[in-house]
Amino acid sequence: MDSEKSMKVLSVASECVPFVKTGGLADVVGALPGALAPLGVEVRVLMPGYPAMKAAISEDAKTQELGRLPGGRARLISGPANGTDVMVLDSPRLFDRPGNPYLGPDGKDWPDNHLRYGAFCRLAAQIATEGLDGWQPDVVHLHDWQAGLTAAYLKLGRQPAPPSLITIHNIAFQGLFPPEAATPLGLPKAEFHPEGFEYFGQLGFLKAGLVYADRISTVSPTYARELMSAEFGMGLEGVIAARRAEVHGILNGIDLEVWNPESDPQIAMGFSAKTPARKAKNRVALAQRFKLYAGGAGPLFCVVSRLTRQKGLDLLLEALPRLLARGASLAVLGSGDADLETGFQAAASDNPGRVGVVIGYDEPLSHLMQAGADSILVPSRFEPCGLTQLYGLRYGTLPLVARTGGLADTVIDANEAALQAGVATGFQFSPIAAAPLADAIDRACDAFADKKLWAAMVRRAMRHPVGWETSAAAYAKTYAELIETAA
Ligand code: ADP
């Protein structure tokens, strides 16, 4: 490969914005093709044929019959969808199901998920090795467990295959199935051992990806290091640590068009680093929306999150009395675990005008929250990268975050040294527990009381680069290295 120009990448993923999304993975898969195009990297995204995906692909897309895949007959539909070149595995028996991609109506994993994503990975490997209408990728980029088995098919197949990179977006989801699941997927029994795709007696899709892909990446340098420890590796720390030299941490960026405080149509009034007073209008609108008293002395904190243990929001419920004691208020948007939903709802009814809660998923409202709040709270127990703190920086909503994963890598804590050097953009706390969180809330309230200091931090946060430029270059470099090594 003489240069980074003309690299062709097959991106294999189960989620892609704006078609199908359950988490940050979808944002990354959706953003990378556009971010990589200026670097001469041509990305095509292979997706399962969920109803939303089939509806999005253009009418004049090409259709071809596919040979036998697990789960029966299938077709491949390829063409542009919303400006991205996509290929869709159209297998109605496997994917023509409404709602969440992974869960049935009973809220449990679909019982045939191994077939669904096994077929998907088989097809990915087939396209990678045989090409499609003369298009053959130089590199295969796999995302999370749903794509993981592709690496096994590539490595264990008879045909020469392009090199692969697997990105871990969240190691909590590993795609584990009983050993019998390997049979209909045509996986060689001889590889069912701990150095292969076995994970403690089960078939592990992500495990397979981590073993057979040529490189591994995850979405922040700190999370890359954390994943090699028992505390964060969720049982896969040994596999990852064994490949230490081939593990990269590449931060996620955000879409600077969708998340642009100057032109965002979903907020009350556009603003920039030069017009911070206009942000105040959004604050008023947000307070109204959550029935909060806007005139309090303290900052207006917000949370936009899945309400799960990972996100550490139980710690926030514990720290809430300190937040309220400082005259601050809180707006929460999220849904998830019942105990957290009821916990925040109770906090709202106990503290009218000070705590407001909307249970649900509301993209437009999430924009208003980023625009109107003074600070966004992200007290996650682990956080591979995190996106909401990046939106917070862009909208001058200073992030207050746990010092872990991508949160540690993207927010500069307002400690003495950082304040002296004039580089602070937010607040970090560690260890990850309620008391250190409450202390950080105290520090944020102190900083908020110093209007000059706060305004300087807001301006600095808004200038902090949070787009894809640097990270897209890092992916392009990794692809180029993979191609060079494989040549
Ligand atoms: P994760 O992928 O672990 O949920 P991230 O911070 O990486 O966390 O990405 C979460 C994404 O989902 C962000 O784009 C965030 O704004 C969005 N989000 C989370 N909860 C909600 C909600 N209740 N309403 C709207 N958007 C939400």
Ligand 1 touching residue 334 (CB < 6 A): yes
For ligand 1, mutation pick of 341, 361, 381 (most atoms within 8 Å of CB):
361
pLDDT tens figures, 267-294: 999 999 999 889 999 999 999 999 999 7
Its pTM stands at 0.93
pLDDT recorded at residue 68: 79
pLDDT tens figures, 254-269: 989 999 999 999 999 9
Ligand 1 center from residue 433 Cα (angstroms): 22
One domain for residues 175 and 126: yes
CA distances from 99 to 26, 29, 241 (A): 15, 20, 36
Ligand 1 atom 12 nearest Cα: 23
One domain for residues 242 and 295: no
One domain for residues 437 and 478: no
pLDDT tens figures, 339-352: 999 999 999 999 99
Asked whether residue 312 is assigned to any structural domain, the reply reads yes
| Cα gap 39→33, rounded to integer Å | 10
Percent of the chain with pLDDT over 70: 99
Ligand 1 touching residue 270 (CB < 6 A): no
One domain for residues 447 and 481: no
Ligand 1 touching residue 341 (CB < 6 A): no
pLDDT tens figures, 207-231: 999 999 999 999 999 999 999 999 9
Q: 216, 168 in Cβ contact below 8 A?
A: yes
Residue 252 Cα: closest atom of ligand 1: 7
For the beta carbon of residue 111, count every other beta carbon within 10 angstroms. Answer: 8
Does residue 100 have a pLDDT over 70?
Answer: yes
Residue 380 Cα: closest atom of ligand 1: 3
For the beta carbon of residue 420, count every other beta carbon within 10 angstroms. Answer: 9
Does residue 2 have a pLDDT over 60?
Answer: no
Ligand 1 atom 22 nearest Cα: 361
Q: What single letter denotes the amino acid at residue 346?
A: A
Point out which residues pair with 41 in neighbouring strands.
7
| Cα gap 208→153, rounded to integer Å | 9
Ligand 1 center from residue 21 Cα (angstroms): 10
Q: 245, 385 in Cβ contact below 8 A?
A: no
Ligand 1 atom 26 nearest Cα: 363
Ligand 1 touching residue 387 (CB < 6 A): yes
One domain for residues 351 and 416: yes
Q: HSE-up of 20 (CA within 13 Å, CB side)?
A: 25
pLDDT tens figures, 303-333: 999 999 999 999 999 999 999 999 999 999 9
Ligand 1 center from residue 387 Cα (angstroms): 7
Ligand 1 atom 9 nearest Cα: 24
One domain for residues 234 and 295: no
Point out which residues pair with 247 in neighbouring strands.
216
Torsion angle, CA of 270/275/281/284, rounded to 10 degrees? Answer: 120
Ligand 1 center from residue 196 Cα (angstroms): 34
Q: What single letter denotes the amino acid at residue 135?
A: W
Phi, psi of 165 (to 5 degrees): -125, 135
CA distances from 19 to 55, 88, 260, 306, 390 (A): 9, 12, 21, 19, 22
Asked whether residue 264 is assigned to any structural domain, the reply reads no
Ligand 1 atom 17 nearest Cα: 305
Report the range of poorest mean pLDDT among 59-63, 214-218, 300-304. Answer: 59-63
One domain for residues 369 and 239: no
For ligand 1, mutation pick of 256, 302, 305, 411 (most atoms within 8 Å of CB):
305
| Residue of higher predicted confidence among 138 and 24 | 138
Ligand 1 touching residue 219 (CB < 6 A): no
Count the domains in the chain. Answer: 2
Residue 280 is part of which domain span? 276-463
Asked whether residue 258 is assigned to any structural domain, the reply reads no
One domain for residues 236 and 286: no
Ligand 1 touching residue 304 (CB < 6 A): yes
Does residue 251 have a pLDDT over 60?
Answer: yes
Percent of the chain with pLDDT over 90: 92
Ligand 1 center from residue 162 Cα (angstroms): 33
One domain for residues 419 and 473: no
Does residue 5 have a pLDDT over 70?
Answer: no
426-438 mean pLDDT: 98
One domain for residues 381 and 398: yes
Asked whether residue 271 is assigned to any structural domain, the reply reads no
Does residue 177 have a pLDDT over 90?
Answer: yes
Spatial strand order of the sheet with 215-218 comes to 62-69, 72-81, 84-90, 41-48, 7-12, 139-143, 164-168, 215-218, 247-249
One domain for residues 292 and 242: no
Ligand 1 atom 20 nearest Cα: 305
Residue partners of 410: CB distance under 8 A and separation at least 6: 220, 251, 385, 386, 389, 390, 393, 399, 466
For ligand 1, mutation pick of 366, 367, 385 (most atoms within 8 Å of CB):
366
347-367 mean pLDDT: 97
| Cα gap 455→169, rounded to integer Å | 34
- CATH number for 310: 3.40.50.2000
> Of 394, 41, 270, 142, which Cα lies nearest the Cα of 151?
142
Ligand 1 center from residue 22 Cα (angstroms): 8
Q: 377, 392 in Cβ contact below 8 A?
A: no
One domain for residues 159 and 97: yes
pLDDT recorded at residue 151: 98
Residues in the chain: 487
